[in-house]
Structure 1
Amino acid sequence: MIVVFFCVVFKGIIALSANSPTEIKVSLGSGSTIVLNCSFEKETGERVSRITWTKKQETEDTFITIISYYQSYVVYHDLDMKNRSNSISFTDSSPSAILNISEVQCKDDGQYQCIVGYMNSNGIEIGTKTETSVYIPVAAEIPVDFSLQPHIHLQENNTVNFTCLANAGHPEGKVIIWRQTGIADAREKLGESPLVDEKTENCITNAQLTISYNISKYDDGAFFGCTAQNKFTPEDSVPSRIIGPLNIFYGPSNLSIEISPQIHSFYVGDRIRLTCSSEGNPRPTFQWTFNFTKIAEGEKYYLSDQDTTLEFNTDNITDSGYYGCFASNSFNGNLYNSNDTIKLIVQDSSTVRTSCVNIKCSSIEKCTTKDNIAICSVDLWKIVAFLFISCSLVLGTTTAILWRYLKLRNPRTILDEIIRDGENRNYETLSNGTTARNVEERNYESLSNVMTDTYSSIDERALRDGEGAHYESLGSGETHTYSSIQPTVLIHMET
């Protein structure tokens, strides 16, 4: 019987609430028990009519009624559940419905719902529900099989199949195939099986996965593994089966030639060292060539490091040319190779300085070519320009310092003309130590609004009456000091 309740909620009405455990974990066995307890809290005027426990079907998204509770009695809808469980119905004094399931079986796990049907204070039938998930954890086991086909003579670009079979435990068992380049490196997931939730008697989940994989040279030395796990498998103890490290054959690749010293133009008598490197499995063998002719170790050429290094002294400019490295290996009946060349130029030491491109001159020299020989000579114009700029900087700096020094130390020697209301003054400018005619000496200390004029003598012609000023007669050698001259005074000093 499938029971569906429709809930009607009215604004302003406090509805009855139902509660049950959110999650229950239980193990298999006759001594295990699942306790489903559905309780409720009702408001004044509400009356519970029925409580129902339902369970979700494994293949459909619907719930089937297991048991119905009424006040003081229960009705079972599942005969097997009736034979291995007991129940306690609700009453006014005990607002809960309890279902105790004993002899726990794998089929008992899943999602349960408790539905409480009641009548509210307005006499309207309403239903509310709560859910409980029951889990029966079963540990995952090490995969019983993890294979690679083909598994021998693997080489780059081969396509292989990985197959894994394991009891992944319960619930949500699955297997994962992964790749790891090193023991300490992170695992790269290559494939994952669908979740398996088939209910067997002992909750064994047989998970299986097969994937195809394209082998590359970067898989040489890598590990591949299969892991079985489920919802409750600890991350730090996942059971796995591992294959590897794999031995992957591949031809020479990433070949390069290094030269020492790191230049391409040499002089007769220089010693040159060439080093060749290449990846490959099995390890490549190396052969050197000069102008595409094989080089054999002898008096001139020295080979070392399993023929990866070539050393020789340049005896003549005929040592110029193309030096090549040839790397090769073979596997599965096939030969693989790779090569590269480098061009070297050997020059006669007597004619090596034939171009300014090949030599470097200092900052005060210039390069010139004479008789097909490049020569560095002193450039006089560069020296003159350098000296001129240096002297200009020194002279400019000295002038600025001297001007500032004199400005602070020298007194003012020029008489400023100051004209105030009604004043008209003409002063003869006297430099330091100057003596005017008629043996008149004048020292001007200041020509500001408060002026002080010192006269050694004043001619009688400078004394006039009727202008609002009075001057005493000065005798020979007498000196008077005036702190100011009134605006009505006009003084003309004749020279």
Structure 2
Amino acid sequence: MCDIMDSRFYGRRTLLVNICWIFAFFHVGVNSQPELKFDGSGLLNSAVNFTCIINKGGFYGTFSKDEKMIAVIPKSAGDEIQMGESYINRTTTARAQLSSDGSYVYSIRLDKLQCSDEGNYSCETSMGVEIKKTSIPFHIKSSPQKPSLTAPSTYVVLGDTVTLQCTANVGKPPQNLSLCVLQEKGLNCSQVSTLVDLGNCSSTRTAMMTVNITEDTKRATCDVLMTDLSDSKTWEVYYPVLDIKFVPVNSMISLSEGESKRITCEARGNPKPSYVWRFRAKDAPADDPGILKLKGQVLDLTNVGLGDTGIYSCIATNEIRNITYNKTESVTINVVPTTPAPTTTVPTTPMKPTDGSTPKSGPQTNEPDDDWKLIVGIIAAILFLIILIALLVILYRRRSKPAEIEEPPEKPRNNHEVNMKETKPDLVYSIGNEKGKLPMYNTGFDHQGEDDLYYAELAFDDKPRSRKPVVPLYDKFSNNEPYTTVMPQV
């Protein structure tokens, strides 16, 4: 209200205007402290809003950075905020508004923050001789960038000493670096680095580490702490053939003739070793390198013979930086005869050679063909004995079996039922007029007399089914002499 009166009656009613300002001064109070705050992350190239809140309006004020004015606060909410010369050409937004509680809110927005925007900002209000001021620091931040790790790109050799280096823009405020190497005992890390301020709200750190290469030193990582930014490198570790062994592990192996055996040669090295097998006969001199048996890791011995007895050597070889490395391991194979051949001594008479030289004398041994003939003969003899014993057993069993007697079927006791004189079993037929020779008394088989025997003269076995021949007691023609047996006809 006082500023309206001042604009309308300036120069004519000065006293009235002055009374209004004095009343406002005592009504609001000069001890009212302005409140200054900002919102935003403060990151480089982002935006920020500065806000100054005054409890009661009607005061003059300014926005300042590092004691340099950047804007003038108007006396009322409707007035325009005047920006300083250094901010006129920048993308800014300034406004003043009256809040619901009667406070005046003055705000300034700065877009695309620059590193030079960092400083101490203040809001100052004054009326007459009373000045109130509030200050806050404002820092510009910048994001760190992905680190760059320098490490071996292809391979290193066991025992080498290498230097690893990691460099990164660690932003503002600067972050720390962590450089780690994966080794046999775990991670070996270092956070010692050198910080270099590049200006323009950025700085770099450089971390370095010197390591001795082992078989497991194959990876390094560099991380910007408090972020997910990281870089890593891997490499191959080359080393000569370190050791060599056989599978199965054995330095001496005994085999029988005809057996088979597989032996695998394994060596540790990088690059992967190549393998060759060499053979030296049992009776060869120690300095004899032997003959090349095969190229490869696996030795297969099949159907071994006595000539396979000897020393087998596996040679593993690899090459690093044009230098060849190798390791050798040997195994002795002893082939044992399956059936030792008998040695016979045959006395021989030396024959005189045709060339006139002196003949050799001494025992002679059987050739291998004679041994096979001997074995075949023994097997044939054993088979013959087995067959002979089987035949004897079969014959013995047949002889000991009891013989079975076949009895003929029983013949009817009388063939002539019409004979009513004699009913005894029929025997023979006799011709004559005597009682014994009459047909009515005849009980012969065919009614024809062939032996002229009386029935009473017959003696026969009274057992049923008997067919024994008739035995007469006496011969009537020989004066009671024993009768000559005549077999009856049946």
Give me the TM-score of the superposition, normalised by structure 1: 0.39
Question: Larger radius of gyration, structure 1 or 2?
Answer: 2
Instruction: Name the structure where strand makes up a greater proportion of residues.
Output: 1
